[in-house]
Each structure stands twice: as structure tokens, then as C-alpha cells.
Amino acid sequence: MTNDQILEKLRAILAEAFEIDPARVTPETHLFEELDLDSIDAVDLAIKLQEMTGKRIKPDDFKSVRTVGDVVGTVQTLLAA
């Protein structure tokens, strides 16, 4: 799966789960500052990503995630493992 494909799936997840306009979701977008996600939303997002990848995301892997690009990188790492 390419980074662009991951980004598109992430846009769909954020739109469906958090009612965020997909046009606002770019690799540079900050999850907490610009999209107003909180820690509970981050957990929900991690669960959705686990469903998407079929792989478990360790909480430590997700702690450093701040931007949409970070999420794409985390998913890419999971898929490569």
C-alpha cells in the first residue's frame, strides 16, 4: 500500500469517525491542534488503524504521532512488519 493510498483511507476514517472534512487532512496537518482530536479520539483512531491493517498498534508506537504524516508512517511501518 502506498503512502497516498494510506492517506486516502485515513481521510475516509477521519471523515466517518470524527466528521472531519477530508480536504483538511494533509500530511502536515496536526491531529490535536488542527483537527481537534483528543486522547480518546487517538485511541479510537488507533483501533480503526488496527482494523485497517490487521495488525496491533503498540501504544508506544502511537505516542509520538502528532501529524497525519506521522500516522501514515506508522501504518507503513506496521504493514512492512
d(Cα 75, Cα 57) in Å, to the nearest integer?
A: 9
Which residues in the chain come in under a pLDDT of 70?
none
- Residue 81's pLDDT is 79
Residue 45 CB: number of other CB atoms within 10 A? 22
- State the pTM of this model: 0.88
Domains in the chain (CATH in brackets) are 3-80 (1.10.1200.10)
- Residue 29's pLDDT is 96
CA–CA–CA angle 12, 26, 51 (5° rounding)? 35
